[in-house]
Chains A and B, each alone.
Chain A
Amino acid sequence: MALLQISEPGQSTAPHQHRFAAGIDLGTTNSLVATVRSGVANVLQDQDGEAIFPSVVRYDKHGVVAIGKAAREQAAEDPYNTISSVKRLIGLSAEDIAESAAGMMYKLEKNDSSVPRISTAAGPKTAIEVSADILRALRERAELSLGGELTGVVVTVPAYFDDTQRQATKDAARLAGLNVYRLVNEPTAAAIAYGLDQAEMDATIAVYDLGGGTFDISILKLERGVFEVLSTAGDTALGGDDIDQAVVDWIISQQGIDVGNDAGLQRSLLDQARSVKHQLSSADSAQFELQHGDTSISASVSVDTFNELLSGLLERTLKSCRSALRQAKLKKNQIDNVVMVGGSTRVPAVRAAVSAFFEKEVLTDINPDEVVAIGASLQADVLAGNKPDSDMLLLDVIPLSLGIETHGGLVEQIISRNTTIPAARAQEFTTYKDGQTAMALHVVQGERDLVRDCRSLGRFELRGFNPVVAGQARIQVTFQVDADGLLTVSALEKASNVHAEVQIKPSYGLLDSEIESMIRDSMTNAEQDVAARMLQEQRVEAERAVEALDAAMAKDADQFLDQSEKQKILDARASVLESNDTGDSEAIKKALRGLEKVSEIYVSRRMNASIGEAMKGKNIDSYAKQDNPS
């Protein structure tokens, strides 16, 4: 008998069509997976009731021999084949890694490939492959817990991750057989877990994340349900591990131990320090007990000693907080909420210091180890379509530019790619022909200059505005993308107040790969696009000129021109039309210049005549009055 969950009204799925979604916090030290069941977000536990999954993989010649907790326990016996903190390496080059502390711990393969590989008993492994092994284990846990395959996941990444690191994380997830709905910034996920995204009011949020191996402070701005990262600061080599190391260093100096090159002893010391740290969160003192080879330690650590060991480290985190505030151009009292993330924020001294710094109660209700995964699972649940549409929230940017077709099949970009949504931009357009009373608007998406190379999203018409001379009408076109990613394009002709609009879903049906290739095309075809744009612009210009000339000549050519003048103009007009078919923008330009030259006399005669007409029967004074509107 299948086990069912309670759905939101009207959101029940057909049998075997469940949309199982999960949020994954892929951490440096520990990872977690969470899901929403019957409306409640919870982290998923293993058979032993453990939610935390150490991000550690041990390899032997057959591949993965231990993962998670088991691998961490075996790290001391097999340090070189047991890979931890692989997140520090993901997306980095061999040079970057060689310089990093994490890189020192493992043997790196020497080869020509730009992707660095760690040598293990199972052969060379990239950081992406190691991450994929961790993700695969989390996927298994989620699928066993949900009773079916995952439809998709949200994976969290640090706010400061660059494109390469984000892409590498995505690749790892794909390698693990996961469909990634989206990568979400860790601080954003934490804020979502506290429901801060549901707030009616805009807010500024500080997320203090002291994890196992990294410290991050992020300042987020929530505006109309969308998070923007205002600033990030931190220390990629500061975290719970450093607290453990500080305890180890203290023990070593107290006990006079020589660790030497014994990686196993170093690991055992750290494990014991971690246990002391955990005990001191709720006790005034703890025992440090260790038996490793010839080394035997038994020492008492008081909470006062511990806090003292911590103080330098805490001051470093607060320095980062100050720097993040400075970058965001904010003062401490402008922060509305402080969210605490990471297991190390359980340490009472850490909470007290942060609370004192921001002069505010800090949010600690949700387990700080789980808060990021929980936020990610809430987001995944929404993205899987398990919530009514009204709850849909996209924390996203526009993937491809949005624009409108202008005369000659050219694209005028209105909202450029990577603009955060919601967004609204307006631009004014005008008519192309005299007496025009309608305008066709064609909405397109893409980075290319010509409409035919972009994706057509929709068309609509603005009809019934007053006829005026070409170029006189002012039509304001507004593009608006709301938080749901829904695009509304509206057009307004100001003089006659005629209005029309259309609604479009822009990214619908566009695969990531398509988006990537469209962006790539725009780069590789840049030169070609520029030439095509120039040609089109010349063609439009030529057509416009001929059209205007024809209109004028039909009216009064005989009045202002003698036969030979008229013939010259008609010849020039013919060569413009001829050049227009050649596809050579220079030729068109030249022909146009010729036409302009021979028509000069005609234009000036018409101008004089119309000015004379307008001034007939009026004296200079009446003009002076008109020139000075009250």
Chain B
Amino acid sequence: MAITLTDAAADRVKTFMDNRGKGVGLRLAVRTTGCSGMAYVLEFADELDEGDVVFEDNDVTVIIDPKSLVYLDGTELDFGKEGLNEGFKFKNPNVKDECGCGESFTV
């Protein structure tokens, strides 16, 4: 079981965490909303919840609750640009289908 970050994503996460000046890590999760089943959650974490699974990859602490991990296991977090827009991408091997925009998915 693992979650990984590309170098680009790790660089950005570290910059953003430094800028924020507090927090224990980066929280990844899925929520059962959205136009196509599940939606990704990407947040700064200020505390660990009971049962949270913690990964270290590329010097970044990734925090994930066990239920979300089922849907996210093996995911690689990437950072990229599309034209003027930039942001994080989930490369999730569990995904069977995505909505057009890729913000929500089904497994």
Contacts and interface: CB of A to CB of B under 8 A. Distances in A.
Interface centre among A6, A8, A40 (most CB of B within 10 A): A6
Interface stretch (A141-149, A424-432, A581-589): A141-149
A46 B87 CA distance: 17
A39 B84 contact: no
Contact of B83 (A4, A14, A37, A144): A144
A44 interface: yes
A179 B21 CA distance: 31
Contacts of B50: none
Given A8-B44, A12-B31, A15-B34, A3 B83 contact: no
Interface in A97-152: 141, 144-147
A40 B15 contact: yes
Nearest to B40: A4
B85 A144 contact: yes
Contact of A7 (B33, B35, B43, B80): B43
A4 B89 contact: yes
B101 A2 contact: yes
Given A3-B88, A6-B26, A12 B42 contact: yes
Contact of B84 (A1, A10, A11, A45): A45
Interface string B8-45: 00001101100110000011000101110001111111
Contacts of A4: 40, 42, 87-90, 103
A38 interface: yes
Interface in B38-71: 39-46
Contacts of A12: 31, 41-43
A520 B88 CA distance: 49
Nearest to B102: A1
A616 interface: no
Contacts of B46: 9
Contacts of A625: none
Contact of A47 (B19, B45, B84): B84
A331 interface: no
DSSP class of A's interface residues: helix, strand, loop or mixed? Answer: loop
B2 interface: no
Contacts of A144: 83-85
Contacts of B103: 2, 4, 15-16
B43 A10 contact: yes
Interface string A145-161: 11100000000000000
B73 interface: no
Contacts of A7: 41-44
A145 B84 CA distance: 4
Classify chain B: how many residues form its interface, as a range: 35 or more
Interface string B87-99: 1111000000011
B43 A11 contact: yes
A378 to B, nearest CB: 12
Nearest to B16: A38
B45 A9 contact: yes
Interface string A554-588: 00000000000000000000000000000000000
Most buried by A among B45, B84, B88, B99: B84
Nearest to B46: A9
B42 A5 contact: yes
A370 B45 CA distance: 29
Contact of B39 (A6, A8, A14): A14
B42 A44 contact: no
B44 A14 contact: no
Interface string A253-290: 00000000000000000000000000000000000000
A1 B103 CA distance: 7
B78 to A, nearest CB: 9
B13 A6 contact: yes
Contacts of A146: 85
B75 interface: no
A44 B84 contact: yes
B104 interface: yes
B89 A3 contact: yes
B90 to A, nearest CB: 7
Contacts of B31: 12, 14
Given A2-B101, A7-B44, A15 B84 contact: no
Given A15-B33, A47-B84, A1 B98 contact: yes
B104 A3 contact: no
Contacts of B40: 4
B16 A39 contact: yes
B31 to A, nearest CB: 7
Interface in A1-42: 1-12, 14-16, 37-40
Contact of A15 (B15, B87, B99): B99
7 contacts: A1-B102, A6-B44, A7-B44, A8-B44, A12-B41, A12-B42, A15-B33
Given A6-B13, A39-B20, 12 more contacts: A2-B102, A5-B42, A12-B31, A14-B34, A15-B39, A15-B103, A16-B35, A37-B86, A37-B87, A40-B15, A144-B83, A145-B85
The 8 closest A-B pairs by CB, nearest first: A3-B87, A15-B103, A1-B102, A145-B84, A15-B34, A147-B85, A38-B16, A2-B103
